[in-house]
Structure 1
């Protein structure tokens, strides 16, 4: 199985998606009802918003896997408005109902990954941004969500807790999407976790780094 990014392989993405889900799940399970309702590191979002977003993302990526498996087009979301409404609704759910949705979606997505054949992984699907990609990129999309939002949850995890090989792949992808050169990155003095957090628009420890705005 191949990907379009030399910084990662398909097997890397599968491993990261699994490990990131485990990290996020552990962080969520440490929260009580008041803790999960508290604010996250994302402006205007509680931890319930974050968990609801990741739960909805599992369902949405499951749609893409279904598309690859059956050949029947199935978009991630009915609309951007519906996606946003689902996240806001998630923030109002009782904690146990929200966590059940999150766990069900994560388990179902992993099972869907396991079902696809090598040929099905090569099928083309369309992301929420309207980009055509092979289904083999979906585990990478999930890995980004679970690892980055595990940090966003605000339970004490930081980018330094994420795997270095994942951070390298993530930093390279965001750099390209932001139109930055490798020289631009070399001009920023900081560790790999801090540089990646800066690129992702998250809190970092780099002095005088320009603000890049939100990402993901």
Structure 2
């Protein structure tokens, strides 16, 4: 379960991912927003609505860490889905403003969180117990992978190295512990070990970007050498 420290460098990774996303969506209009994303059943509007509403949801966990009062990330899955759906139906200008203002508020929240709060224990919607340092990883992961999901010309290979490394470590950690993960060894093109699941098994190699695209379900294994096995669902 990947966590990163609350340093200026970590905050800058989030800021860079946010800036890239905002630059990519700045020119989208109502027709663009209504077009399908790469995620089955979701338009681009759904993806952007999710990102906009995720920021205050993560802030609820930070408030839990700050005050010690348990505060759920979302009241329920149904409430989360309804919130996303409502935002997805709005005009592009309103939705893009929501993405921008919620991201700015989230940045201020993490930068102002008191030092003791970063050591508190919270439980995200996904169920794991963690410190708020995990929330930084979650936000980076959502920003960069959902930027890809928007299908606006940004792909996994375009994710900057610091963010890509963080998200790759996160997904590798997930599959190392997940039930049903096949035995496989993952290496980069030079043969360096990147990950090993189970007893190792057959080797699959590729660039970190190609491996992340496959592991995160954003490709079927394009660019990889070897036979990528079927993986259990991630998130």
TM norm structure 1? 0.88
Structure 1's unaligned 5+ residue stretches are none
Structure number with larger C-alpha Rg = 2
Partner Cα distance (2:232, 2:103) in 1? 29
The residue matched to 2:204 in structure 1 has which SS? coil
- Quote the Cα distance in structure 1 between the aligned partners of 2:85 and 2:232: 22
Within 2, Cα distance between the matches of 1:48 and 1:119? 37
Q: Return the match for 1:140 from 133, 137, 141.
A: 137
Find the aligned partners of 2:205 and 2:69 in 1 and give their Cα distance: 48
Q: Please list, as runs of the form range in 1=range in 2, the aligned pairs for 1:30-179 lying within 5 A after superposition.
A: 30-179=27-176
Task: Answer whether contact 1:67 1:74 (CA < 8 A) is retained.
Answer: yes
Per chain length, whose mean CA-contact separation is higher, i.e. which structure has more relative contact order (CA < 8 Å, sep 6+)?
A: 1
Q: Secondary structure at 1:188's aligned position in 2? A: strand
Deviations 1:73-110 (A, max 9, x none): 21100001111111122221122222222222111111
Distance 1:182 1:116 in 2: 41
The whole-number CA distance in structure 1 between the counterparts of 2:31 and 2:232 is 30
Q: Which moved more, 1:196-205 or 1:166-175?
A: 166-175
Q: CA deviation at 1:36?
A: 1.7
> Which deviations, in whole Å up to 9, do the C-alpha atoms of 1:161-216 show, x marking residues without a partner?
11223222322221231236995213213211110110001025235533435534
How far residue 9 of structure 1 moved from its aligned partner, in angstroms, is 4.2
SS of structure 1 residue aligned to 2:186: helix
Are 2:229 and 1:210 aligned? yes
- Secondary structure of the residue aligned to 1:13 is helix
- Alignment TM-score, normalising by the size of structure 2: 0.82
Question: Is the contact between residue 198 and residue 212 of structure 1 (CA under 8 Å) also seen in structure 2?
Answer: no
Separation in 1 of the partners of 2:206 and 2:183?
14
Equivalent residue in structure 2 for 1:23, among 20, 23, 26: 20
**Cα distance in 2 between the residues matched to 1:9 and 1:119:** 13
Q: Between Structure 1 and Structure 2, how many residues are aligned?
A: 212
Q: Distance in 1 between matches of 2:58 and 2:87?
A: 18
Give the Cα–Cα distance (whole angstroms) in 2 for the partners of residues 19 and 181 of structure 1.
34
- In the alignment, is the contact (CA less than 8 A) between 1:202 and 1:214 conserved in 2? no
Runs of 4+ in 1 over 4 A off after TM superposition: 180-183
Which residues of structure 2 form unaligned runs of 5+? 188-202
Q: Is the 8 A contact 1:201 1:211 kept in 2?
A: no
